[in-house]
Amino acid sequence: MADGSVFKRCSCRGSDGRKLGNRCPQLRRTGGAWSPTHGRWAYQLELPTHPGQPRRQLRRSTFDSRDAATTDRDHAKSLLALAGDDPGVAAEIADLLLAVASGAPLPDRDTIARRVRAGLPATAATTVGEYLHSWLAARRGIEPATVMTYASHIRIHLVPHLGDIPLVKLRVEHIEAMFTAIADRNTAIEIARQSDDPAIRDSARGLRPTRPSTMHRIRATLRKALNDAIRRSNNRLIDFNPAAHVELPSATRPKARVWTANAVQKWRGTGERPSPVMVWTPQQAGEFLDYAEDHDIVLYPLFVLIVHRGLRRGEAIGLTDTAVDLDNALISVTQQLTTHGYTPVIKKVKSESGNRVASLDSFTHAALRAHHARRAQWKLACGAAWPDTGLFFVQPDGQPWHPHAVTDRFEALVRDSGLPPIRLHDLRHCAATYLKAAGADLKDIQELLGHSSLAMTDIYTSVIAELDIERAKAEAAAKLVPRRQRRGQAA
């Protein structure tokens, strides 16, 4: 790389009206030394070119001293040196230098160095959107479901709100503004849903608010991505993670509520659910199972298993023949059939505590025995066309169940039965609730549900106070407190 030359130039014009530049005779004193009072200091530096392009030079002037011009020239040379032996990168950096306006400072060397080390173009600042997409594409060794969650957060929230901001300029205020906008959208959806105008209500149809727990996960995705931008020695694009300094309201889990008579009555009139997580009373659960037995005998035993033994959807669908021991009334939960996007996949249970053995009550045992016998008839009817999936719950043609299809069938049964709505996963809450009401302690319920901690189990069983059996206990306790007999009150 050429050292470049440092010199003086001025704005004087010759007799032809053209600027003299560094040819002005007043720039030199007698003897050849530079004049201390005339002109400004400047430098000229030969620049790399793209293939097929003519030579080009960087010329910068308006410096007050020779030292200032020399320092700026050396800065330019240090930027060009970042390219090493790569002529393409060198030409890109030269493009960047030529694009700097006269009098404006040259780009920060560390910023350009990070871009070059990361393999990013040197000529433009990396935006948050560009970085997040490249970060996601480089992720390795994580669950496909986690990748899908990251991609969803990036596509729906992070890029629309932050994507155009240069990564090095991302600040806490930008991220806080994103979450404020998300909260404002939530408010707008709720206002539209409660409007007296049918057209306004329809405008919110299909729109889902972003819950606090999801906001925490969005922040976690951004924080992880920015931490990686800092942590990797060959890709240190930033030195500060603003996502780590954003505070959000506590993402408390929604409290489970029971479909009491009053709640059902209000729901029938307004369609309002007291909580996103709802639990049927034992009577309502019984009505559902009776209805399912009459209208969907194929999936009825699976619903019985979830209601009484609290399996997750994927755990129930993923049960294998070898995992169901009908002779000893036991099941072994070791895997689940879940989805990546819409594609069904078999994977291990969520945690070591989820790998468990559960006893079958007589009702569930009978339902599974009947299903086993019914399945043998299906297999006989299909003959050689029957696929050997190894799964216990299959369709009448022997094919595995798609998890989404099971959910769709469940929701259709609930709707047609006239019962108040709950999610398929809420049957698991029902199982925990009924076990607690029947006298099981939290440790027993934790082991049955495959929870890693009692805290999660306690959340599942916190609705017991609303069940009749617990209400009776509350009534008995209240009667222990003596009260004064009021006039007209029955003794």
DSSP 154-202: IIIIIHHHHTTSBGGG--HHHHHHHHHHHHHHHHHHHHHHT-S-HHHHH
Pairing of strands 278-279, 257-258: parallel
Integer Cα distance of 52 and 190 in angstroms: 61
CA distance linking residue 9 with residue 20, whole number of Å: 8
Contact predicate 286/212, CB 8 Å: no
Estimate the crossing angle of helix 300-309 against helix 282-295, to 10 degrees: 160
Give yes or no for a contact between 236 and 117, defined as CB atoms under 8 angstroms apart: yes
Half-sphere exposure (CA, 13 Å, Cβ side) for 303? 27
* Domain ranges (residues) in the chain: 5-117, 128-245, 257-475
* CATH number of the domain located at residue range(s) 128-245 in this protein: 1.10.150.130
Q: Detail the DSSP E strand segments found in 334-433.
A: 335-340, 343-348, 356-359
Structure tokens given for 439 = 């006298």
Q: Do domains 128-245 and 257-475 have the same CATH topology?
A: no
**Rounded to the nearest 5 degrees, what angle is found at the Cα of 440, between the Cα atoms of 434 and 442?**
100
User: What's the rounded Cα separation, in Å, for the pair 28 and 51?
Assistant: 39
**Which amino acid is located at 204 in the chain?**
A
Query: What is the pLDDT, as a whole number, of residue 319?
Result: 95
For residue 44, the model assigns a pLDDT of 92
* DSSP reduced 3-state for 258: strand
* The pLDDT of residue 168: 85
Answer yes or no: pTM beyond 0.85: no
Strands (E), 195-272: 257-258
CB 445 within 8 A of CB 460: yes
pLDDT tens sequence for the chain (491 residues): 567 899 988 889 888 888 888 889 888 888 889 988 898 899 999 999 999 889 999 999 889 899 999 999 999 999 999 988 899 889 989 988 887 877 778 888 887 887 787 776 766 667 899 889 888 988 878 888 888 899 999 999 999 999 989 888 899 999 999 999 999 898 888 888 777 888 888 888 878 889 888 999 999 999 999 998 887 644 466 888 999 999 998 767 777 888 999 999 999 988 888 888 888 998 999 999 999 999 999 999 999 999 988 898 999 999 999 999 999 999 998 898 988 767 888 888 766 656 788 888 888 999 999 999 999 999 999 999 999 999 999 999 999 999 999 999 999 999 999 999 999 999 988 888 888 777 776 676 777 777 555 555 455 555 544 455 455 555 565 565 564 665 655 55
Count of alpha carbons within 13 angstroms of residue 278, beta-carbon side: 20
Q: Quick check: 318 and 391 in contact, CB under 8 A?
A: yes
Q: DSSP string spanning 306-360?
A: HHHH---HHHHHT-BGGGEETTTTEEEE-EEEEEETTEEEEEE-SSGGGSEEEEP
**CATH no., domain 257-475:** 1.10.443.10
Tokens describing residue 95: 């493009």
